[in-house]
């Protein structure tokens, strides 16, 4: 006799059938316990009396399924995969088998076959990707890693914001940090100016591929390929290096992991719940953090260079600069606004030329021509709002929604007009004059006409 393996379901049925066969329970009780009909209970009982407990086990157990593909199809598919698609994934290999060879196999079936033959490994058995460690820079200020971390820094006590941090690669020291609404160009320019004013100019910054630091569109062939941030660093003689992966700038990533644990709890104990209070308290925590986690550099030299630019020149560098074309009416467009230059002897000669625009993070705006400021006024200030087609990056979405909410609460927009807006037609109830009605020719009833022959 062979060995039979029974599951929990078969064992429960066996107990009920044993009690029923010994008349310890009735057929009605067996129907209720097995949740089967009367005929099904008698069928199981007859099989049990004839074959014993083996009758409760499905006869299909251990046999191939009815929908299983033939062995010849498996051999054909795996032969094609070994010859042509050995390094393909299951999804792409299944598509190529259908397109190029007419062998239709589902992706999951092919995946199981490739795993069984050792061609493919599932995610649980793959070896983890190894990132080789990079040696630290030897001197302070040689390479400064810069990044932002969006997190609930104040937990549920305050809004979600971003912490921008500057970390020295040689020492892992937090050189500067600040809470900002989002990773915008203005925020990075302002914090870079604060960093340079405190420590000087480093040799290079090390960042990710965020749009603030790098032009990521391959089809963008206009301009010099620099963003506003890289243009400012170029004028300050500071290089910018973009990392290819988050692991390449692992020191600042690990530092953010530590801050998301320690800094959040420290601010909870201090009762800090706003970015303004956090920025006022942050320098003291950074000093304690550096005492605990900073490393000693391999060489004691400090490569930070002194700032030679005047404060006014530094402000002109670390701002948003652009060029605008002046039209016939001495106007140009800027950020969905119409800017009109005041008519003077200088501005009258600027028609058809480009002027320089300067915008700062605090909202200041200036228009210049060859370094001289030009008087201007905003033609329609109500146009400065978020449009229905505004394009916003994911990292700026939270700040944009907060700005839109503030605008909606400040002023209610007029209700949009509906209906016949273009013609502004208002019905009067009168029928408009048109063509005169056509004259209807009289009709004659031929049956009513009596001919002389008919009268006779």
pLDDT tens, 125-164? 776 766 667 788 999 999 999 999 999 999 999 999 999 9
Looking at residues 37-57, what average pLDDT do you find?
A: 87
pLDDT tens, 363-390? 899 999 988 999 999 876 555 454 444 5
**pTM, full prediction:** 0.60
Residue 241, pLDDT score: 92
pLDDT tens, 222-260? 556 789 999 999 999 999 999 888 888 889 999 999 999
Q: The domain at 144-215+225-293 falls in which architecture?
A: 2-Layer Sandwich (3.30)
Q: What is the residue extent of each domain of the chain?
A: 8-56, 71-124, 144-215+225-293, 319-383
Q: The domain at 319-383 falls in which architecture?
A: Beta Barrel (2.40)
Does residue 448 surpass a pLDDT of 50?
A: no
- Which H, E and C letters describe the chain, residue by residue? CCCCCCCHHHHHHHHHHHHHHCCCCCHHHHHHHHCCCHHHHHHHHHHHHHHHHHHHCCCCCCCCCCCCCCHHHHHHHHHHHHHHCCCCCHHHHHHHHHHHHCCCCCHHHHHHHHHHCCCCCCHHHCCCCCCCCCCCCCCECCCEEEEEEEECCCHHHCCCEEEEEEEECCCCCEEEEEEECCCCHHHHHHHHHHHHHHHCECCEEEECCCCCCCCCCCCCCCCCCCCHHHHHHHHCCCEEEECCCHHHHHHHHHHHHHHHHHHHHHHHHHCCCCHHHHHHHHHHHHHHHHHHHCCCCCCCCECCECCCCCHHHHHHHCCEEEEEECCCCCEEEECCEEEEECCCCCHHHHCCCEEEEEECCCCCEEEEECCEECCEEECCHHHCCCCCCCCCCHHHHHHHHHHHHHHHHHCCCCCCCCCCCCCCCCCCCCCCCCCCCCCCCCCCCHHHCCCHHHHC
């Amino acid at each position: 006799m062979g060995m039979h393996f029974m599951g929990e379901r078969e064992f429960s049925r066996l107990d009920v059938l044993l009690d029923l066969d010994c008349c310890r329970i009735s057929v009605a009780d067996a129907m209720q316990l097995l949740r089967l009909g009367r005929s099904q209970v008698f069928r199981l009982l007859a099989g049990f009396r004839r074959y014993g407990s083996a009758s409760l086990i499905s006869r299909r157990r251990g046999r191939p399924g009815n929908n299983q593909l033939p062995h010849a199809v498996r051999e054909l598919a795996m032969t094609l995969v070994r010859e042509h698609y050995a390094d393909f994934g299951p999804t792409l290999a299944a598509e190529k088998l259908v397109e190029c060879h007419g062998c239709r196999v589902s992706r999951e079936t092919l995946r199981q076959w490739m795993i069984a033959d050792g061609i493919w490994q599932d995610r649980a058995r793959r070896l983890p990707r190894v990132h080789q460690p990079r040696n630290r820079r030897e001197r302070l200020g040689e390479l400064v890693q810069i990044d932002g971390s969006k997190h609930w820094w104040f937990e549920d006590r305050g809004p979600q914001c971003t912490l921008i941090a500057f970390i020295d690669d040689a020492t892992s020291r937090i050189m500067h940090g600040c809470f900002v609404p989002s990773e915008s160009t203005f925020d990075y320019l302002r914090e870079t100016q604060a960093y340079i004013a405190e420590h000087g100019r480093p040799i290079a910054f090390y960042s990710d591929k965020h749009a603030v630091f790098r032009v990521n569109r391959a089809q963008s062939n206009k301009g010099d390929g620099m963003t506003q941030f890289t243009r400012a660093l170029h004028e300050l003689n500071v290089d910018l290096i973009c990392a290819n992966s988050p692991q390449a700038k692992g020191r600042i990533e690990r530092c953010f992991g530590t801050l998301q644990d320690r800094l959040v709890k420290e601010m909870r104990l201090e009762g800090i719940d706003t970015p303004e209070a956090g920025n006022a308290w942050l320098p003291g925590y950074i000093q304690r953090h550096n005492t605990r986690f900073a490393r000693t550099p391999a060489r004691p030299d400090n490569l930070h260079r002194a700032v030679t630019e005047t404060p006014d020149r530094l402000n002109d560098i670390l701002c948003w600069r652009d060029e605008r074309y002046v039209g016939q009416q001495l106007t140009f467009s800027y950020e969905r606004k119409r800017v009109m230059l005041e008519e003077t002897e200088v501005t009258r000669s600027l028609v058809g030329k480009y002027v320089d625009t300067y915008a700062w993070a605090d909202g200041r705006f200036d228009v210049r021509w060859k370094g001289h400021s030009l008087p201007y006024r905003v033609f329609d200030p109500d146009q400065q709002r978020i449009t229905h087609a505004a394009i916003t990056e994911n990292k700026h979405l939270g700040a944009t929604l907060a700005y839109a909410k503030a605008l909606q609460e400040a002023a209610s927009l007029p209700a949009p007009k509906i209906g016949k807006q273009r013609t502004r037609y208002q019905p009067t109830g009168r029928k408009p004059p048109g063509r005169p009605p056509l004259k209807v020719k009289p009709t004659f009833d031929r049956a009513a006409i009596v001919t002389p022959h008919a009268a006779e």
